[in-house]
Amino acid sequence: MDDWKAKTKAVHGGVRRSQYGEVAEAIFLTQGFVYASPEQAEARFVECGPDEFIYARYGNPTVRMFEDRLAAIEGCEDGFGVASGMAAVNVTLMAVAKPGMRIVAARALFGSCLYILEWLANFGVEVVYVDGRAEAEWRAAITPGTDLVFVETISNPTLEVIDLAAVAGLAHVVGALMVVDNTFASPVGASAAAQGADVVIYSTTKHIDGGGRGLGGVVLGSAEFIRGTFEPYAKHTGAALSPFNAWMHLKALETLDLRVRAMAASAARIAAALDGHPKLARLVYPGLGSHPEHAVAARQMDHGGTMLALDLAGGKAAAFSFLNALHIPVISNNLGDAKSIVTHPATTTHQRLPDEQKKLLGITPGLVRFSVGLEDAGDLVADILAALE
């Protein structure tokens, strides 16, 4: 299986068939597992083998299939499924946190990731923020004694792209752990592990579920990190992934490549149609040559992504009338869904940020985040152009 391409692994990776030989992966909706004898129970608590389970907070066969399949797609040795993307970030950071440790992070992060980093400061963790696009800032901040570097490959909502190989190179010189939240890029055509990430995190709620159904998260890395560092903390602290959600996300991995590529192709078509539009002060799409990190994006991913950011020249009023005039996309705050989703970050997901920080991050009153879905691209372009008028 190691030689297979990601698309093949996405269909066959991690399969564990029961004695019935079912074709579709089974859902094991069970909390616990029966032992044939007290001797067997004792042996399993001493050492739990790869096909043995104790309790669903520690592991479950359906969850295991999902973890193994995603680890195979990303090219990592192992993985651990958790209840949400934020559980994945929180448990990763808590599993390694120590008073006096130093974390260097990109400033442009998902709001809840920022919240966790700020929370860690209560326990004597030093967190230093840099402009993720500026290599000189990374170089200056990742000093000897830095323990961990945290980035999102493509930032939310302004779609800044981090040069993973460059930042991972700096992290590894000082022995820091490179942790990458790769949710916006998705594993399709963009392995963060291949770019040097030691730990890769996905909110599987997004592109991987792809249908807006259930929350999930996963942490991928070396067997040593997952089993030696992550699992001991995770299994005792209860952020376990529901087997039902693991099953939904496991099955959704089969179509992930098709879905993400179709969404990215539509996003590129929308970006081309909107480039230079007079109602827009700014159009951000990593697949456009005008994007400041276009070259980095093109090197790291074989598509331009599924997300666009449109900055309406008329500010908040123009952004709101645009959102109200659209007929196809729904107004919500998820992303990676089959349905196109539009978000006004300044008044929703990033509302709590002080104005000064919004300004620094480019979250202007006119900014609209657009998650491109699976609708017909021509319909989307027509809807957007009409709404802009």
Ligand X SMILES: *Cc1c(COP(=O)(O)O)cnc(C)c1O
CA torsion sign for 231, 236, 238, 243 is positive
Which helix or strand (DSSP H or E) is residue 128 part of?
strand 126-130
CA 29 to chain centroid: 26
Which helix or strand (DSSP H or E) is residue 367 part of?
strand 367-371
Of 111-150, binders to ligand X (CB under 6 A) are: 112-113
Contact between 210 and ligand X (CB under 6 A)?
no
Contact between 85 and ligand X (CB under 6 A)?
yes
- Of the pair 207, 291, the CB lying nearest ligand X is at 207
Identify the CA nearest to 229 among candidates 99, 94, 334.
94
Contact between 306 and ligand X (CB under 6 A)?
no
**How far apart are CB 203 and ligand X at their closest, in Å?**
3
Contact between 156 and ligand X (CB under 6 A)?
yes
Inter-axis angle of helices 377-388 and 315-325, nearest 10: 130
Contact between 153 and ligand X (CB under 6 A)?
no
Contact between 205 and ligand X (CB under 6 A)?
yes
**How far apart are CB 345 and ligand X at their closest, in Å?**
12
- Of the pair 132, 383, the CB lying nearest ligand X is at 132
Contact between 208 and ligand X (CB under 6 A)?
no
Q: Residue 308 and residue 312: Cα distance in Å, rounded?
A: 13
Identify the CA nearest to 344 among candidates 377, 321, 375.
321
Contact between 84 and ligand X (CB under 6 A)?
yes
Of 166-185, binders to ligand X (CB under 6 A) are: 181, 183-184
Q: Residue 64 and residue 358: Cα distance in Å, rounded?
A: 40
- Of the pair 6, 86, the CB lying nearest ligand X is at 86
Among the listed ranges 38-46, 78-86, 248-256, 280-288, the one in contact with ligand X (CB under 6 A) is 78-86
Q: Residue 41 and residue 48: Cα distance in Å, rounded?
A: 10
Contact between 383 and ligand X (CB under 6 A)?
no
Q: Who's near 236: CB < 8 A, 6+ residues apart?
A: none
Contact between 81 and ligand X (CB under 6 A)?
no
Which residues are near ligand X by CB under 6 A?
A: 84-86, 110, 112-113, 152, 156, 181, 183-184, 203, 205-206, 215, 217
